[in-house]
Amino acid sequence: MTNEDRRIRSLRPPKPSVDPWVAHGSLVEEERTGRESRERALTVFLAGAECPFTCSFCDLWRWTTDAPTPAGALPAQLSGVLASLDSPLPERVKLYNASNFFDLRAVPPDDAIVLASLCSPFLGVTVESHANTVGPLALDFANRISGRLEVAIGLETIHPLAMHHLNKRLELARFDRAAVFLLEHQIDLRVFVLLGAPYVPHTESVDWTVRTAEYAAKRGARMVSLIPVRGGNGEMERLAAMGVFVPPTLSQLEEALEQCVAMRPTIVTADLWDTDRLPACADCRADRVARLRHMNLTGEVTPRISCRGCNGNGRTS
């Protein structure tokens, strides 16, 4: 662990108690898969070991354990979720463990084998990983599942200064190699892109988000998810006090999606998790979230919201 890692972690509020034998939760939602096609996707939020990387913007550490994931815990979590589902099962399952699926500390090798078997009913399986851990373990897991594997990687931003300060230890060349590896082995690529990354000027935030999504699309990303940066981990509050982080707004998320939604064949959607935390006009917030949800599902840019309270700009008064 570096000094930067220690400093970032020292600013965090206390970590909630996490039971590694019980999934944090799950949800089933529709995702657009093409111009006129959708699929139902089950997302399972697994509990396990924390990621070894300490990204400045991360808030997923709250849902992880300090110790390695106990053997057998992840299959027990997934089995519990699957047993609670009604038929028919969704077409896709996403195993999000708030870490790196190909980190042996987070996912023991024997558990990966069992998880692959449990995923046999699904046509598509999505896991998340830092680009640095994409390699032979990804190929092994892809060969074990009956469906098609997709790996979700956080590219975050291609803004040079911001990339340096994210503490992610990711260079574009390494991301590119991971993308090539996945595509060469018929593994799909999903990419996470940040809106409002620290050290990106607030007035340029949307532009850099769009440019990053375009970068991912050119490297074969099947899906790109635009994720607004959230505060609350201590480090983001420190950066805000320094003037190098301004929380993104709901209207910025709308603008970024408007510019990306037609980026075919790559499917670009806006992450709507915690949209209630984004600065927005109270009078039209709900309508704007509904508009984003509609664009996510249809891939069509709908008319902008008209609101007397904010003159249609979506900003708080």
Rounded to an integer, the average pLDDT of 240-256 is: 97
Would you state the pLDDT for residue 309?
80
Q: Smallest Cα–Cα separation from 209: which of 248, 152, 172?
A: 248
Would you state the pLDDT for residue 314?
75
CATH topology of domain 3-298: TIM Barrel (3.20.20)
**CA atoms of 196 and 199, how far apart (whole Å):** 9
Confidence of residue 153 (pLDDT cuts 50, 70, 90): very high
Would you state the pLDDT for residue 164?
95
Per the CB < 8 A criterion, the answer to whether 101 and 127 are in contact is yes
Rounded to a whole number of angstroms, the distance between the first and last alpha carbons of the chain is: 43
What single string gives the DSSP state of each residue in 216-274? HHHTT-SEEEEEE----SSHHHHHHHHTS-----HHHHHHHHHHHTT-TTSEEEE--TT
For the purposes of burial, counting CB atoms within 10 Å of the CB of 51, is it exposed (0-12), middle (13-18) or buried (19 or more)? buried
Q: What is the pLDDT of residues 267-289, one digit of tens each?
A: 999 999 999 999 999 999 999 99
CA-angle at 106, arms to 103 and 111, nearest 5°: 100
Query: 3-state DSSP: the chain helix, strand, coil percent, rounded to 5?
Result: 35, 20, 45
Domain boundaries, the chain: 3-298
Per the CB < 8 A criterion, the answer to whether 95 and 118 are in contact is no
Is the pLDDT assigned to residue 144 strictly greater than 60? yes
Is the pLDDT assigned to residue 227 strictly greater than 50? yes
For the purposes of burial, counting CB atoms within 10 Å of the CB of 133, is it exposed (0-12), middle (13-18) or buried (19 or more)? buried
In sequence order, the 6+-apart residues with CB closer than 8 A to the CB of 181 are 134, 135, 138
Rounded to an integer, the average pLDDT of 134-151 is: 98
Rounded to an integer, the average pLDDT of 67-76 is: 98
Average pLDDT, the chain: 96
Would you state the pLDDT for residue 317?
46
Q: What's the gap between Cα 237 and its chain centre?
A: 21
Q: Take residue 154 and report the two structure tokens written for it.
A: 């956080």
Is the pLDDT assigned to residue 113 strictly greater than 70? yes
Would you state the pLDDT for residue 311?
76
Confidence of residue 316 (pLDDT cuts 50, 70, 90): low
Rounded to an integer, the average pLDDT of 84-92 is: 94
